A and B are shown apart, each in its own frame.
Chain A
Amino acid sequence: MSELRKDLISGRWVIIATERSKRPDDFRPSGQAPAAPEAAGFCPFCEGNETKTPPEVYALRAAGTTPDSPGWTVRVVPNKFPALNPGPPPPRASRGIFQSMEGRGVHEVVIENPDHALELGDLPVPHIRDVLRVFQHRIKAIERELHYQYVQIFKNKGKEAGASLSHPHSQIVATPIVPKRVKEEIYGADRLYRTFKECGFCRILREEETAGTRIIARNGGFTAFAPYASRFPFEMTLMPKRHSAFFTDVHEDELLPLAEILKDVLTRLKRTVNDPPFNMVLHQAPNPTLSAKDWPELHLKSHWHLEIIPILTKVAGFEWGTGFYINPVPPETGAQFLRQA
Chain B
Amino acid sequence: MKKKILVVEDEKTLRLLYEEELSKEGYDITAVTDAEAALAKLAQNGYDLIVTDIRMPGKNGIELITQIMGLRKDIPIIINSAYQSYKEDFMTWAADAYVVKSSSLDELKSKIKQLLGE
Interface of A with B (CB < 8 Å)? 35-38, 40-42, 44-45, 49, 51-53, 80-83, 109, 164-165, 169
Contact = CB atoms under 8 A, between A and B. Distances in A.
Contact of B94 (A35, A44, A169): A44
B91 A164 contact: yes
Contact of A42 (B66, B87, B88, B89): B66
Given A44-B91, A44-B94, A80-B98, 4 more contacts: A42-B69, A109-B90, A164-B90, A169-B90
B3 interface: no
A35 B63 CA distance: 10
Nearest to A163: B90
A41 B90 CA distance: 14
B93 interface: yes
B62 interface: yes
Contacts of A82: 87
B68 to A, nearest CB: 9
Interface in B62-96: 62-63, 66-67, 69-70, 73, 87-94
Contacts of A52: 69, 73, 93-94
Given A41-B70, A52-B93, A52-B94, A164 B88 contact: yes
B91 A165 contact: yes
A82 B88 CA distance: 8
Contacts of A51: 73
B91 A38 contact: yes
Given A40-B63, A40-B66, A83 B87 contact: yes
Main secondary structure of the interface of B (DSSP, over half): helix
B42 to A, nearest CB: 14
B90 to A, nearest CB: 4
Contact of B63 (A37, A49, A109): A37
A168 B66 CA distance: 18
Contacts of B89: 164-165
Contacts of A37: 62-63, 66, 91
Nearest to A109: B90
A42 B70 contact: yes
A196 to B, nearest CB: 41
Contacts of B62: 37
Contacts of A36: 63
Nearest to A51: B73
B90 A44 contact: yes
Contacts of B67: 40
Contacts of B98: 80-81
Nearest to B96: A52
A83 B88 CA distance: 8
A40 B63 CA distance: 8
A53 B94 CA distance: 8
B87 A165 contact: no
A53 B63 contact: no
